[in-house]
């Protein structure tokens, strides 16, 4: 099969690494890819969806896999389907589970799927009345996509009211904030759970944990994610059974009933409070860096998995996990997450990295290829992924792999997976 991957991050790189293990893979393309994906396939620079669909036809692409939310929310899947092209990902309508928090919360309420108590409104008076009735910490969210920044945790009612005011008048997030969700604060531990689905049937991957803060001990600003590990033993079989029964299965059913069947990967952001899972958010794509630790743990054919989701064949799919553990540590550039630092050369001890190849690998993100090697191009640069039969060893392996990499201003957390094995 010929496959096109849309995206340019370490998430897409890790999907490519997993596809490369399939005997069914013929040619692999990336749109646009990054400075390292060109070593796994061919990068193309077509960006508009009609242009990509034409490329897919001309190059006999059998399957397109979409990594990030932006093209999904703006309808890439609808364009490909109009051209009868096979594509992994939800339609624009189904992608509202991520692109509109109000839509998502209303689905959860309508189908009795557990989530924080909330109000969804464009009215300041309504939002204020709801805030006054809540106890303790209040969470204020902009309705639309804000690159992970549209959630404000407020310790006082006044802080929450200020946040609502700034969102509704368009000051903080423009149009994305002109509708707000205000909700109760849930105090527990977070899980990332992924269900791969054709709209009816699904396969659930083992739960992962992300590390959103920049610095060790969960200090510093929020980021796209500084590391992840999976499976997490914090998600007991009992909790996973509740997540499946109370959240994943009813959401997939609900989307079908609403006339927007959800195909692709449903990412449930879960908060577990007293052993009960609540839905914090849905995303309509793989988490990054969660994808980088989950892909290498799938022992069945990953190309068949994506193809079955896009083709309505998940029920009969053969699917298995290796039973091993993975820890992924993100290396980011100097000014992340505030701004993009100027490109700097990455030095990798290739001999040392090759000697560690049975312990894990690197998935590349913000890198640019130049004549003298890879340059760090700002943002999250790469993920060192360690794999082993237990989490502690997987963590040690990830840091061994990271020790082969150096670049000016490089920053990474030293405590990924601390929740279960310490720093």
Q: Are 286 and 264 in contact (CB under 8 A)?
A: no
**Residue (283 or 404) nearer to ligand GLY, CB:** 283
**Residue (153 or 348) nearer to ligand AMP, CB:** 153
Q: Are 400 and 356 in contact (CB under 8 A)?
A: yes
Q: Does residue 190 belong to the site contacting ligand AMP (CB under 6 A)? A: yes
Binding partner selected for residue 190 from ligand GLY, ligand AMP, none, CB under the kind-specific 5 to 8 Å limit = ligand AMP
Q: Which stretch binds ligand AMP (CB under 6 A): 123-131, 180-188, 224-232, 332-340?
A: 180-188
Q: Which stretch binds ligand AMP (CB under 6 A): 28-36, 77-85, 182-190, 409-417?
A: 182-190
**Residue (90 or 225) nearer to ligand AMP, CB:** 225
Q: How many helices (H) and strands (E) does the chain have?
A: 15, 25
Distance between CA atoms of residues 217 and 145, nearest Å: 28
Binding partner selected for residue 186 from ligand GLY, ligand AMP, none, CB under the kind-specific 5 to 8 Å limit = ligand AMP
Quote the radius of gyration of the chain (alpha carbons, Å).
21
Binding partner selected for residue 288 from ligand GLY, ligand AMP, none, CB under the kind-specific 5 to 8 Å limit = ligand GLY
**Residue (143 or 281) nearer to ligand AMP, CB:** 281
**Residue 37 CB neighbour total at 10 angstroms:** 27
Give the DSSP letter of residue 352: H
**Residue (99 or 404) nearer to ligand GLY, CB:** 99
**Residue (192 or 397) nearer to ligand AMP, CB:** 192
Binding partner selected for residue 287 from ligand GLY, ligand AMP, none, CB under the kind-specific 5 to 8 Å limit = ligand GLY
Edge-to-edge, what's the strand order for the sheet holding 373-376? 344-345, 373-376, 367-370
We find the least distance from the C-beta atom of residue 243 to ligand AMP, in angstroms, to be 15
Binding partner selected for residue 116 from ligand GLY, ligand AMP, none, CB under the kind-specific 5 to 8 Å limit = ligand AMP
In the list 116, 196, 254, 344, the residue contacting ligand AMP (rule: CB under 6 A) is: 116
Q: Does residue 290 belong to the site contacting ligand AMP (CB under 6 A)? A: no
Q: Does residue 409 belong to the site contacting ligand AMP (CB under 6 A)? A: no
We find the least distance from the C-beta atom of residue 83 to ligand AMP, in angstroms, to be 33
Strands 28-32 and 3-7: parallel
Start-to-end C-alpha separation, the chain:
42
Site residues for ligand GLY per CB under 6 A: 210, 225, 283, 287-288, 290
We find the least distance from the C-beta atom of residue 234 to ligand GLY, in angstroms, to be 17
Q: Which residue is nearest to ligand GLY (CB)?
A: 225
In the list 186, 270, 303, 402, the residue contacting ligand AMP (rule: CB under 6 A) is: 186
Phi, psi of 422, rounded to the nearest 5 degrees: 80, 170
The full DSSP string for 33-80 is --TTGGGTSEE----SHHHHHHHHHHTT--EEEE-SHHHHHTTHHHHH
In the list 4, 10, 108, 139, the residue contacting ligand AMP (rule: CB under 6 A) is: 139
Binding partner selected for residue 151 from ligand GLY, ligand AMP, none, CB under the kind-specific 5 to 8 Å limit = ligand AMP
Q: Provide the token pair at 339.
A: 């701004």
Reduced to 3 states, what is the DSSP secondary structure of residue 202?
strand
In the list 55, 111, 185, 319, the residue contacting ligand AMP (rule: CB under 6 A) is: 185
Beta bridge partners of 266: 195
We find the least distance from the C-beta atom of residue 290 to ligand AMP, in angstroms, to be 12
* Contact set for ligand AMP, span 265-284 (CB under 6 A): 269, 280-281
Binding partner selected for residue 139 from ligand AMP, ligand GLY, none, CB under the kind-specific 5 to 8 Å limit = ligand AMP
Reduced to 3 states, what is the DSSP secondary structure of residue 261?
coil
The full DSSP string for 130-182 is HHHHS-S-EEEEESS--TT--EEEESSHHHHHHHHHHHHTTTTTGGGGSSEEE
Burial 162-194 (b: 16+ CB within 10 A, else e): ebbbbbbeeebbeebbebbbbbbebeeebbbbb
Residue ranges in contact with ligand AMP by CB under 6 A: 116, 139, 141, 151, 183, 185-186, 190, 269, 280-281
């Amino acid at each position: 099969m010929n496959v096109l991957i849309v995206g340019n991050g370490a998430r897409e790189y890790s999907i490519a690494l997993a596809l490369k293990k399939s005997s069914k893979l013929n040619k692999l393309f990336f749109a646009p890819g990054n400075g390292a994906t060109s070593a796994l396939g061919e990068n193309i620079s077509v960006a508009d969806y009609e242009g990509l669909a034409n490329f897919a036809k001309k190059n006999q692409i059998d399957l397109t896999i979409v990594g990030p939310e932006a093209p999904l929310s703006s309808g890439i899947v609808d364009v490909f389907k109009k051209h009868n092209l096979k594509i992994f990902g939800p339609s624009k309508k189904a992608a509202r589970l991520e692109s509109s928090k109000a839509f998502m919360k209303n689905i959860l309420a309508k189908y009795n799927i557990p989530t924080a108590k909330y109000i969804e409104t464009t009215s300041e008076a309504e939002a204020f009345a709801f805030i006054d009735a809540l106890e303790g910490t209040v969470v204020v969210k902009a309705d639309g996509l804000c690159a992970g920044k549209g959630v404000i945790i407020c310790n006082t009612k006044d802080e929450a009211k200020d946040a609502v005011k700034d969102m509704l008048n368009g000051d903080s997030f423009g149009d994305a904030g002109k509708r707000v969700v205000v909700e109760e604060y849930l105090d527990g531990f977070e899980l990332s759970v992924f269900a791969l689905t054709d709209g009816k049937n699904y396969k659930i991957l083992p739960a992962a944990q992300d590390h959103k803060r920049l610095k060790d001990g969960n200090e510093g600003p929020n980021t796209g994610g500084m590391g992840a590990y999976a499976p997490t033993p914090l998600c007991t079989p009992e909790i996973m059974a509740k997540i499946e029964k109370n959240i994943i299965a009813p959401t997939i059913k609900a989307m079908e009933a609403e006339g927007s069947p959800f195909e692709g990967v449903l990412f449930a952001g879960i908060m577990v409070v007293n052993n009960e899972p609540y839905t914090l958010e849905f995303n309509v794509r793989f988490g990054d860096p969660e994808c980088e630790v989950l892909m290498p743990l799938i022992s069945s054919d990953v190309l068949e998995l994506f193809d079955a989701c896009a083709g309505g064949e998940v029920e009969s799919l053969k699917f298995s996990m290796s039973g091993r553990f993975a820890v992924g540590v993100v290396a980011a550039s100097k000014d992340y997450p505030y701004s993009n630092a100027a490109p700097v050369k990455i030095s990798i001890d290739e001999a040392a990295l090759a000697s560690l190849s049975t312990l894990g690998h690197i998935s590349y993100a913000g890198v640019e290829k130049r004549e003298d090697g890879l340059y760090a191009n700002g943002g999250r640069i790469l993920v060192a992924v360690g794999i082993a039969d237990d989490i502690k060893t997987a963590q040690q392996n990830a840091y061994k792999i990271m020790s082969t990499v150096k670049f000016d201003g490089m920053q990474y957390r030293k405590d990924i997976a601390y929740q279960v094995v310490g720093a």
